[in-house]
Amino acid sequence: MFDDEKIEAGIRLLLEGMGEDVNREGLRETPERIARMYHEIYGGLEMTPEEILSKTFTAANNEMVLEKDITFYSTCEHHLLPFYGKAHVAYIPNGKVVGISKLARTVEVYARRPQIQEQLTAQIADAIMEYLKPQGVMVMIEAEHMCMTMRGVRKPGSQTVTMVTRGAFAENRELQDTFLRLAK
Ligand code: ZN
């Protein structure tokens, strides 16, 4: 899916647009390096949550499962600058669970794309709802946006917090409070 030649040409053009000499030593291999890097940092574009969440196990009980402090790195699609932080993902099983590492991998699938934080939060929750069919899902993301700290309003350390509830979590204040208390 990635067209490396196009990416490299684009980076060259970008540098030229800034008046840079794309043939100077430091920049000569930059387009190629960036194309290679994009396979990694935008690798989520080539992955689906299905391959991660389709393998499930029968659950003995249906108590809340919470994976907290999942570190992630993503890229803001408005500025192509990083935003990064922690995701907390919980669900209440409906007879089925997935391996714990699969929640972190689901975060990766959506983080490694041009993104906005609100959408990232919702996509994680919706993928778990779709493939695991749990009673409910809650996802909270706390992130620092480089487009807020190295440009624009320049507020280093400020955190953007987004939250999404689905199913049982959407209707139940007590469940939300439990999630928030555990995620702290
Ligand atoms: Zn931005």
The DSSP string of 103-164 is HHHHHHHHHSSEE-HHHHHHHHHHHHHHHH--SEEEEEEEEEEHHHHSSTT--TT--EEEEE
pLDDT tens, residue by residue, 71-122: 999 999 999 999 999 999 999 999 999 998 999 999 999 999 999 999 999 9
- Structurally, at CATH architecture level, domain 56-183 sits in 2-Layer Sandwich (3.30)
Q: Report the separation in Å between the CA atom of 115 and the middle of ligand 1, taken as the mean of its atom positions.
A: 9
pLDDT at 10: 98
Q: Percent of the chain, pLDDT > 70?
A: 100
pTM given for the model: 0.94
Strands ordered across the beta sheet of 136-145? 114-115, 65-76, 81-92, 136-145, 160-167
- Structurally, at CATH architecture level, domain 4-41 sits in Orthogonal Bundle (1.10)
Instruction: Tell me the catalytic residues.
Output: 76-79, 117, 145, 147
Q: Report the separation in Å between the CA atom of 83 and the middle of ligand 1, taken as the mean of its atom positions.
A: 8
Domains 4-41 and 56-183 share a fold: no
Q: Report the separation in Å between the CA atom of 65 and the middle of ligand 1, taken as the mean of its atom positions.
A: 32
Distance CA 26, CA 35 (A): 16
Q: Report the separation in Å between the CA atom of 96 and the middle of ligand 1, taken as the mean of its atom positions.
A: 37
CB-proximal residues (5 Å) to ion ligand 1:
76, 78-79, 147
Distance CA 130, CA 49 (A): 10
Q: Is 32 exposed, middle or buried (0-12, 13-18, 19+ CB in 10 A)?
A: middle
Where along the chain do its domains lie? 4-41, 56-183
Contact 48, 63 (CB under 8 A): no
pLDDT over 90 (residue 49): yes
Contact 96, 133 (CB under 8 A): yes
pLDDT tens, residue by residue, 6-17: 999 999 999 999
